Chains A and B, each alone.
Chain A
Amino acid sequence: MRDDKRAAKERRKRNIVLALVLGAFAILFYLMSIVQWHEHFGH
């Protein structure tokens, strides 16, 4: 039972970290799109 709880806790932790990493990448992609837009059309 204790192992099941630990496994569930680790899975939850993995999912949270994955969500945070994907979220960070989404923000980076969004910001990079703005940078590229400015470099092409901003001058």
Chain B
Amino acid sequence: MAIAESFAYPRVTTVGDFFALLKPRVMSLVVFTGLAGIIVAPGHVHPLTAFTALLCIAVAAGASGALNMAYDSDIDGLMSRTATRPIPMGHIAREDAMAFGWALAAMAVATMWLYVNVLAASLLAFTVFFYVVVYTLWLKRRTPQNIVIGGLAGALPPAIGWASVTGSLSLQPLVLVAIIFLWTPPHFWALSLWRSEDYARAGIPMMPVVKGKPATRRMILIYTILLAPLGVVPAFIGLGGMFYLIASASMGFWMLAGAFATWRERDTAREPSARRLFGVSLLYVFVPFAALIVERLLHLAPLWT
């Protein structure tokens, strides 16, 4: 029996239900990395154009979240983490969520095209397509590499932000994209280590379900070893200054320590190291990107230009 069935109760749809469909916590991370892309990009745009670009990124991220919840509503009801979402709870109809999501996505892309530029709009459309079609509809239920490949959608916002200012792309925003791309697997695999029963019940082939927990711990360590040195690269390509270098290097060491502890973890029932690593990984994105933003706002020069 679906977990949601035990406490679901249909009622009239509220504004809060629509807001919950937007996955506000995921949206905040996407907006933050998109903002970093806008702020560190060379050149100047009118502040209202920058605001519009950021709003479009936020709305498209929310639309992707709503569409993900609509297409995954059958499996969301089977997992304790997602059973209280508005669709499995019976608070909003799947078709309404779908219409809401597609309408928001279309509006965000069209606005970006009209008022920002065509490259930023194309990247935004690609991101929504990749998250909804490639990740949600195709990869998520088929392969343990789902979040590795699907992670590209969540990694693109800095490039969209950059493109909305410059109208082009270069190595610098792609390095920011690569950092989030390599960060995604350890982040979600840490979560899946202590939620593996949930995923198994829903039939989602997450890494611990398909390859086992030891293989997942090894993969977390490998990805973190690749991520930590890449994290400091922005300081050497004219993006980050000393503040960024210190922030990214310390967060890299912290992530490595967490990944190493997760690799050696023996408490496979509670997975305390994986829970800690999940928390640290959230900071790993927030702290260095905040450093980038603060450096630009304080006009601190990058280390190498």
Contacts and interface: CB of A to CB of B under 8 A. Distances in A.
Q: Per DSSP, are chain A's interface residues mostly helix, strand or loop, or mixed?
A: helix
B46 interface: yes
Contacts of B15: 10, 13-14, 17
A10 B55 contact: no
Contacts of B49: 32, 35
Interface string A7-43: 1001101100100000001001101100110010000
B115 interface: yes
B115 A10 contact: no
Contacts of B13: 10, 14
Contacts of B114: 32
Interface residues on A, range: 10 to 19
Contacts of B46: 35, 39
Interface in B83-135: 107, 111, 114-115
A35 B51 CA distance: 12
A10 B12 contact: yes
B224 to A, nearest CB: 41
A6 interface: yes
B18 to A, nearest CB: 8
Contacts of A25: 107
B12 A6 contact: yes
Given A14-B14, A32-B114, 13 more contacts: A6-B12, A10-B12, A10-B13, A10-B14, A10-B15, A11-B12, A14-B13, A14-B18, A25-B107, A29-B111, A32-B48, A32-B115, A35-B48
